[in-house]
Amino acid sequence: MTDWVLLGLIAALVVLLLLTVFGFVVYSGLFTEVVVSAGSPPVGNMTLAYKFRVGPYGESGQLFTDGCSISSKLCSIGVYYDNPHTVSPEKCRFAIGRILSEGDAKPSEEQIKRFQKYGFKIFSFPAPSHVVMATFPFTTPLSIHLAVNRVHPALDTYIKERKLCAHPRIEIYKQDRIYFVCPLARQGDFYVPEMKELERKSRAAAAVAEDAQTDITGVDTMSETSSISVEATTDSRDTSVATSILLPLPGSRGREEADTRSEHSYSESGASGSSFEELDLEAAGDGEGAPGLLPDAGSQEVTDKWTKEPIAAERGEE
């Protein structure tokens, strides 16, 4: 009889433990509906202290820890420039840091010096005009993993279906919400100086390679044309040379038409030909975000026209 009672207590404890784990996962956002929309952003212009890295996004956790150890009261931010599904992990580029100020507020000199002392750099982002965005509850450390695995696929689908050019991916950890923001315009304003320099070097290397290819193609074209011209008109050498020089060279328009975006960028997930008029701009007040963060999309003037491991300190045991 005693054995049965003991087994019953053990079974009850196991069931209670399973129910506790299940409740924890649900509270973390397991069944939260992910709603992706386009419209005015939930944040304005901001000044941030950041560190830039090239490597697997999983290494971002240590950078979040560095920022949290300096000031635990500030909001965290992560900017991810490359699509981890198409770019090898060692080539992914990202910036991680803390938001020092928002809107008209200015960061204090003490804050700036404190972050700079530990290797952080200071940069300002303007307020984006239009964005693709989504939110997710930030209630437990597990919320981060759930958000990364659920929100990013939803953003990918939304952007691809509407053929949008929305990049980079910006994650803002603010109070009990995680904001995912993808600018639809002036994306270069959200490139930190190190990222801009890498893009400049990439374009310069591409231009040099293109020039070399053009030179080789041009020599081949001129040689073939000269041979044909000599055979056809042996009595006029000057005319054949002039004809061969005047022939168009393949690839001469390449540099003028070169895309300024990186081939690894999130911008590859959609085309840039869609206009804001094609977006289902949604008004705020639907209860998805924190009160007062999402402005009324109906009053704005509509104009034509990507797996991370963040916030290791905030999520503790991760």
pLDDT tens digits, one per residue of 14-31: 999 999 999 999 999 999
Which domains, ranges and CATH numbers included, belong to the chain? 35-197 (3.20.80.10)
Checking if the pLDDT of 272 tops 70, the result is no
Q: pTM of the full predicted structure?
A: 0.69
160 vs 246, residue with greater confidence: 160
Q: Stretch 127-133: mean pLDDT, rounded?
A: 92
Average pLDDT over all residues of the chain = 76
130 vs 219, residue with greater confidence: 130
Q: Which pLDDT value is given to residue 201? A: 92
Specify the range with the lowest mean pLDDT, choosing from 49-63, 206-220, 274-288: 274-288
- Cα–Cα distance measured from residue 270 to residue 166, given in angstroms and rounded to the nearest whole number: 7
Tens-place pLDDT, residues 277-300: 445 444 434 433 333 333 333 333
Query: Dihedral through CA 84, CA 90, CA 95, CA 98, nearest 10?
Result: 100
- Cα–Cα distance measured from residue 43 to residue 190, given in angstroms and rounded to the nearest whole number: 13
- What sections of 118-192 are H helices per DSSP? 142-161
Q: Which pLDDT value is given to residue 43? A: 86
Tens-place pLDDT, residues 139-170: 999 999 999 999 999 999 999 999 999 999 99
Checking if the pLDDT of 265 tops 70, the result is no
User: How far is the CA of 228 from the CAs of 216, 217, 224, 235, 248, in angstroms?
Assistant: 19, 17, 6, 13, 16
Q: Which pLDDT value is given to residue 212? A: 82
Checking if the pLDDT of 305 tops 70, the result is no
- Cα–Cα distance measured from residue 78 to residue 73, given in angstroms and rounded to the nearest whole number: 16
Give the residues across from 173 on adjacent strands: 76, 178
